[in-house]
Amino acid sequence: MHIVITGGAGFLGARLARTLLSRGTLSRAGTAPAPVTRITLVDRVEAPADLAHDPRIATVVGDLNALLAETPQRVVTPQAAVVFHLAAAVSGECEADFDLGMRSNFAATNALLEACRHAGTMPTLVFSSSLAVFGDAPEQPLPPVIRDDTLPTPLTSYGIQKVIGEQLVADYTRKGFIQGRSVRLMTVSVRPGKPNGAASGFFSGMIREPLAGVRAPCPVPDDTPVAIGSPARAIEGLLRAAEASDAEWGPRIALNLPSLATTVGEMAAALGRVAGSAATDLLDRTPDPVIARIVKTWPGRFEWTRARALGLRADANFDEVIRDYVRESPDAVKLPTRA
């Protein structure tokens, strides 16, 4: 089986590729598992060395819009059975630069769908959407708990662009051009590596940086709610979306992934339980009204009946999410931690 991952050199894309290589097989939409013979990673930067050296990995380096305009067959070949579309500009970037968001999140998604359409093989396409499709405002408040049938009400450019992507995936599926599945990721934490431009980036940074002995911003109040999904749960959701049969997936296209409902204060307390006051003392509580204005519109509680029926689960607690990060990123952790 040939698999394409856009954003394949990024954190989630690389982790997804490693998981697929380790598994060795993938079931496409309920069919029998097939060997993973090739994974094409498409990104603006080179793939991590461990992936680039695997003979099953092919890399395509360049701007996704340019690649799809000039040589779309380099991205989506007729042999591509499954496409994971993870490439995107993140929330904070899209608020600061409207043109960047529209180019990266709307135009690139549309061009990718066109490439899949013209490949003529109806590939399974898994689109990485976001909880940011839901926005809370005084004039249109969200329900206390987001259900599977709650309608999107985005209040940021990023959220609007993700809703557009979901609707495009739905229509290309309806027309028989692709077999589309949109997966709404929760706030993924703890992400390794360097900070990015996402408004939600501090949800990882407030854990990652203190564990490395570095001061980190925590720019919103402790009672700010957040729906967390660990990296492991995000990958499980993406893979299950690709593997579910049409009957299992059901008539709706977009799926809310499982989430751990917590708060910023509870996350800080979990950091303290794992690494003590040496870590929590490194949290900078200076408010950032720009970040707070974006984050406060996002929901913190989800009911995910469809995802549960697909066998997906949420993280049990945030302490274990932090301990998973410590186990997976030992070189990045400088402070002593408790088992």
C-alpha 272/C-alpha 275 separation (Å) is 5
Cβ contact 187:220 at 8 Å: no
For residue 183, is pLDDT > 90?
yes
Q: How far is CA 193 from CA 171, 190, 196, 236, 295, in A?
A: 36, 10, 9, 21, 22
Residue with the two structure tokens 């995910």: 304
**End-to-end CA separation in angstroms for the chain:** 40
Instruction: Map out the domains of the chain with their CATH numbers.
Output: 2-186+229-256 (3.40.50.720)
DSSP annotation of 134 reads B
For residue 197, is pLDDT > 80?
no
Phi, psi (deg, nearest 5) at residue 134: -105, 130
Residue with the two structure tokens 């303290």: 272
Cβ contact 268:209 at 8 Å: no
Token reading at 156: 């940021």
Token reading at 339: 């088992």
C-alpha 215/C-alpha 212 separation (Å) is 9
β strands within 94-206, DSSP E:
124-130, 179-185, 187-188
C-alpha 195/C-alpha 291 separation (Å) is 14
pLDDT of residue 137: 87
Q: pLDDT confidence of 138, banded at 50, 70, 90?
A: confident
* Nearby residues of 35 by Cβ (< 8 Å), 6 or more positions away: 1, 24, 25
pLDDT of residue 150: 95
pLDDT of residue 195: 84
Q: What is the mean pLDDT of residues 262-266?
A: 98
The mean of the pLDDT values for the chain is 96
Express as a percent the part of the chain with pLDDT over 70.
100
Helix (H, G, I), strand (E, B) or coil at 131: helix
Amino acid at 316: A
Cis status, amide bond into 188, omega within 30 of 0: no
Cβ contact 166:129 at 8 Å: yes
pLDDT of residue 199: 83
> pLDDT for 43-90, tens place per residue?
999 999 999 999 999 999 999 999 999 999 999 998 999 999 999 999
For residue 285, is pLDDT > 80?
yes
Q: What is the DSSP string of 88-123?
A: ---HHHHHH-HHHHIIIIIIHHHHHHHHHHHHTS--
320 membership: H or E segment, kind and range: helix 318-328
* Nearby residues of 148 by Cβ (< 8 Å), 6 or more positions away: 252, 255, 256, 303, 304, 305, 306
> pLDDT for 1-28, tens place per residue?
999 999 999 999 999 999 999 999 999 9
> Where in the sequence numbering do the catalytic residues fall?
158
pLDDT of residue 140: 86
pLDDT of residue 233: 98
Token reading at 251: 């008539």
Helix (H, G, I), strand (E, B) or coil at 171: helix
Cβ contact 163:133 at 8 Å: yes
Note the pTM of the prediction, 2 decimals: 0.96
